[in-house]
Every structure is written in structure tokens, then in C-alpha cells.
Amino acid sequence: MIIGYARTSTLDQTAGLEAQERDLQAAGCERIFVEQVSSVDMVALAKLAEALEFVRQGDTLVVTKLDRLARSVAHLMEILTKLETKGASLRILGMGIDTATPTGKLMLTILGGVAEFERAIMLERQREGIAKAKAEGKYKGRKPTARAQADQVQRLKAEGLKASEIAEKLGMGRASVYRILADAPEHRH
């Protein structure tokens, strides 16, 4: 059986998701697992886990592009191991790679390594750019949003609200509420 997997990073990328589904159907996918997950929440790839569970011996999991499947080379290798253990293969349409062949498996491993290397270089350049901008006084960073609401946190606490209620009401994390309350002048010794 040919099984497809499609994913977009945010809820507003429906056109991209529809294009993936169209390409997967054209590739002969009989069943397609679809999910929209933010890049921050890549850990929670429920439909990918479901697709990997569904795959049986002789099946092929198909994705349109490598970045729709794995978040790192380690994750990619984990997926490949699961597929191999089940006697299934992986096909990436945009790269013309099929792990049912030894060459396809080799190419995927090499390309995954190159992608991870490029990402590491990009992050290093980003850090260098930020350090340079800071040194020149041009980089201020993000304004601490939770701390800007310190007065509201203190007022709501004085009204008798619990930390979790304050966090929900102001749209911040409980840890931020606790931090603000701990920094309050009356809590300092």
C-alpha cells in the first residue's frame, strides 16, 4: 500500500497542505495522513506517529519534501529505522528518492547530513550577527512582555486571584507570574 503524509507548520498554510495532498494523490497514495503543527510544537506529530504505526511490510510512505517529514537528521534516521523494521520504504517526491533502493537510502542520509550542517552554519551566523549588533549597540532584543504586565499581576494577586488564574487572564505562563510575584518589593528581604 502507498501511504502519504502531509504537514504544514501553521494553520494558515492551507494552500500548501492542499498542494501536498494533490501531489500525494497523484503519486498513487491510497491513504493520506494530514496534520497542521507549528514548528514550535514539532514534538507532537500525532499523525506522523499514526502513519508510522499504520505502515505494514511492503508499504511505502510518501512525502512531498524532506522538510515535511523530519525535524533533524536524527529524527529522519529514527523514522527510517521504524520503516525498515516493518519492511517498508520511504519515497520523497521532490527529491526523487526512494529508500527501497540502496542508492536512495545513501542519498537520503547524505542529504540529511548536509541539511543539518547548513542549519548549524545558519544558526552560527545568526549568533555572530546578533553579537556584532549588540557590540554596536544596535540590538536591543525582545521587550520582556510578561514583566511589562507586572503591575497587573500584582493588582490581580491583591484581589485574591491564584497564579494560574492570573496567568490565564493575562495570557502568560504561570512561571512568569511566580517570577513577577517573587520580584515584588514586599517579597524581597
- For the chain, give every domain's residue range: 2-103, 145-184
Distance between CA atoms of residues 71 and 39, nearest Å: 9
Q: How confident is the model at residue 184 (pLDDT cuts 50, 70, 90)?
A: confident
Measured from the Cβ of residue 50, the count of other Cβ atoms closer than 10 Å reads 13
- The one catalytic residue in 9, 38, 164, 176 is 9
pLDDT tens digits, 82-99: 999 999 999 999 989 999
164 is catalytic: no
Helix segments in the chain, DSSP class H: 14-26, 46-54, 73-85, 102-135, 145-148, 150-158, 163-170, 174-183
Phi, psi (deg, nearest 5) at residue 129? -65, -40
How far, rounded to the nearest angstrom, does the alpha carbon of residue 170 sit from its chain's CA centroid? 26
* Total count of residues recorded for the chain: 189
Report the mean per-residue pLDDT for the chain. Answer: 85
Out of 3.10.620, 2.30.30, 1.10.12, 1.10.10, the CATH code matching 145-184 is: 1.10.10
Out of 3.40.50.1390, 3.40.190.10, 3.10.20.310, 3.30.420.40, the CATH code matching 2-103 is: 3.40.50.1390
pLDDT for 9: 75
Strand partners, 60: 2, 89
Strand partners, 31: 3
12-20: long-range contacts, CB 8 A cutoff, minimum separation 24? 19/64, 20/64, 20/68
More confident position, 13 or 128: 128
What amino acid is encoded at 64 in this protein? T
pLDDT for 38: 64
Q: How much of the chain exceeds pLDDT 70, in percent?
A: 89
Distance between CA atoms of residues 18 and 39, nearest Å: 19
Non-local (6+) Cβ contacts of 49 within 8 A are none
